[in-house]
Amino acid sequence: MFFKSLWPALLWALFILVICGVPGHKLPHVDFLKWLKPDKVIHLFVYAVLCYLVLKGFTKQETIPFFRNHSKLLAVVFCVGYGILIEVLQQYVFIDRSGEVFDALANATGAFIGLWCFSFMRKKRSANYRP
């Protein structure tokens, strides 16, 4: 089944939707870290994990060969698109939230970091494989 291998990625995507939909006034406010921009680091991490999980799911599933054969491109397109969608929802739908272009760029960068991590781990695993 196609979704059996993708459930971790789908749960992570749902987690992203929920945390990004929390009203802004309910988020903790930390002034002394404002100069560090920790929210961009969080965006990078969250979307790197999403992309990694989507890639893992696409490559494991055997139902639709197209997704397995084009997993890298499709995972990045999905994650970047999802990141943009979340920012649009924050701007126009979610209460007391605002969508930001730099957040969308951090989401996209995180997706590429996830792609790099997946490729690195896969290459490392295949280099260590001895039949």
CA-to-CA distance for 130 and 58, rounded, in angstroms?
Answer: 25
Length of the chain: 131
Q: Span 8-16, mean pLDDT?
A: 97
Query: Is pLDDT at 80 greater than 90 in this prediction?
Result: yes
pLDDT digits (tens, 9 = 90+) for 41-70: 999 999 999 999 999 999 999 899 999 999
Q: Span 20-38, mean pLDDT?
A: 66
| Domain coordinates in residue numbering, the chain | 43-126
**Token representation of residue 105:** 């760029």
CA distances from 13 to 28, 51, 118, 130 (A): 22, 10, 18, 35
Instruction: Label residue 119 by pLDDT band (50, 70, 90).
Output: very high
CA distances from 86 to 113, 114, 121, 125 (A): 19, 18, 28, 33
Burial class (CB in 10 A: 0-12, 13-18, 19+), 9: buried
CB 69 within 8 A of CB 90: no
pLDDT at 130: 60
pTM value is: 0.87
Rg of the chain over Cα atoms, rounded to whole angstroms, equals 16
Instruction: Label residue 95 by pLDDT band (50, 70, 90).
Output: confident
Q: At what angle do helices 71-92 and 38-60 cross, to 10 degrees?
A: 140
Query: Is pLDDT at 6 greater than 70 in this prediction?
Result: yes
Instruction: Label residue 29 by pLDDT band (50, 70, 90).
Output: low
